[in-house]
Amino acid sequence: MPSQPDNCTAAFRVGTAPSSSSVLSSSRKIPNRKFFHNVQPSFAVSRPTAQQLKFLDNSDPGKNVVVRKNAREWVHRNKQQVLDVRTKRPESKGKNKHEVDRALEPRRKDKGPWRIVVMSDPRLDVAAGKPDPFDAFPAVGRKIDHIIEYFLTSCPEEIPCSDDKYAWRPQDPQLQLSKENTVLGNMAEGYASFVLWLYATTLIRDGTTGTSMSEETLYYYRLSLEAIQKALNEIDGGFDDPLIRALGCFAACACFGGMFEAAQMHSDAMCKTITLRGKGDIAAGFSACTPFTRKASQWCEFGVAAYKRVLSALPYMPPPTNTALPYNMILQSERLAYTTFTNIPPVSLSIQNIFLMLHQIALAQGQRSVTKEKALDRANTDSVTIRLLYDAEYALLQMIDTQKSPDHTYSAVDIMFTEACQLFLWIGARDLPYELKLCDQFVVFLKDAIARVLQNTLLPVGTVLPNPVVHCTPAGLSVPATSNPSAPHINASPRAAQNATLWALYLGTITTGVRSRPDYGWYSEHFRLQAQAMGLRTLQDVEMVIKLFPYSTKWRWSNIRKLEPLIGDYKSSGTVGRE
């Protein structure tokens, strides 16, 4: 095909003189037209490239490696994208001159170029809002960000007085605590312990919401069994702390879910592992563990011991405390304990000691909620609270184990208070949810203990006992006016016995009212009869009796309004039982 003539040749052929513009254009170099074939205009819309779907082979043992490789490639590909730069210019439509002047004001003031607003692509910031931005935790084949988020925001405290919320997400970076006393930091040291922690957290989440084990929980349960079996098979003579923590976590999960045979099996395996670590001496092996491992395994074993109603199989080594209880708090707890003793029947010294510790825990946890914004003050408070929690639970286990003997010297009131304080410690001082399967057993034994006391204290319906003359202490608690402040006063009146019974019935009623436990009808009816026999007609009257015992408005069970249907002519006045 012949080539086409240029503009100058065409002009001479028609017999016309070339213009000056034609001469100038002929002197320029003709651009290469091939360049424009590969250029897209700025307004063109490029069609997205279709991604090829690749299905994973679940039977492939290296599936996790493929998933992580594809994830890294996706992140790297998004990082290569250029940030979109948008120029923000004022649009003037000529309708309002003042609006146009106000829009041009930044440029006139700066006398510079138009300000450029850079809109970053959120896909490029892969670490935004992720608890584990660098993939430091063991890979489990699924996303775990939502589990960590639930653990740090809504999950009940799995191990007493841990610093997870203050170490992983401190409100003030200057008050960030060390991760040595965190559940997440210690459980993530090994694959088996980390998988067990994921199973425990999802199990608690499902249990508190009232749902059965979800597919996610069952997945981590199966993964936990495989991880534990693999860890036990790969032992080469050394028993490290992550394995001990994993076994203890499995025992605690089984207790929470009601699988007590599995809890006993894993608790025995944990104790045997500690014994082998100490070369036959369980105390030596337990002493060789880290402080967090001792604290966690001791409390996990407490759950199994509470179910079996025996002493703990591990040697009692309570967590060390760095600070002592403040002197003013000691005096206040003694005064509150004295108030309790003067309004209940005579009890043993063991029960008096437990009530004193429970009052101290209530005061310490109240102080802890006041200083929750200061992580360092909160850590110092926890070091005192945790020792009281462990001492109180160990003392209760000792009393329960002793009361199984037919030769014990405890009275019926002592036994009732032992069962009531055991339930109180787990749902009150520990602030665990009522859905805890251990509570099913606690309320049964408490019911039997209350029934023996009710045979002697429950008066016929319509018999109203006169209220003793009381005066209010600085804390607002009721103390008999005839009490001698220099010595404990023993109150053996029927009113004192009914105060004790009402408190035990109150704990059983609010616990059995969750998830429709079978004993709720018995507890609610006897609580109503007891309150009617004592002449308690309003929630304020019930609150006065409940506050004779360890009490804190920060505990979830302290909402007395839940008992409003069981009380007579309630008249709303004040803020009774509001959290």
Per-residue model confidence (pLDDT) at position 84: 43
Residue type, 209: T
CA–CA dist 115, 99 (Å, integer): 18
pLDDT tens-digit series, residues 323-364: 778 888 899 999 999 999 999 999 999 999 999 999 999 888
pLDDT tens-digit series, residues 259-289: 999 999 999 999 999 999 999 999 999 999 9
Per-residue model confidence (pLDDT) at position 109: 44
Domain boundaries, the chain: 145-308, 327-566
Closest CA to 130 of 142, 109, 146: 146
Rounded to 10°, the helix 438-457/494-512 angle is: 150
Per-residue model confidence (pLDDT) at position 346: 92
Q: Cα-flanking dihedrals φ and ψ of residue 118, to 5°?
A: -95, 120
Per-residue model confidence (pLDDT) at position 156: 84
The helix or strand, by DSSP H or E, that contains position 512, with its residue range, turns out to be helix 494-512
DSSP structure string for 92-142: --SS-HHHHHHHHHHHHHHTSSPPEEEE--TTT-TTTT-S-TT--SPP-SS
Length of the chain: 579
What averages of pLDDT result for each successive group of 10 residues across the chain (579 residues)? Answer: 48 47 52 60 54 67 78 70 44 50 47 49 50 75 88 84 68 59 85 92 86 87 91 78 91 89 93 92 93 92 93 90 83 94 94 95 73 52 82 95 91 95 90 85 94 70 39 35 40 81 93 86 92 88 91 69 68 38
How many other CB atoms are found less than 10 A from the CB of residue 386? 23
Closest CA to 207 of 255, 156, 256: 256
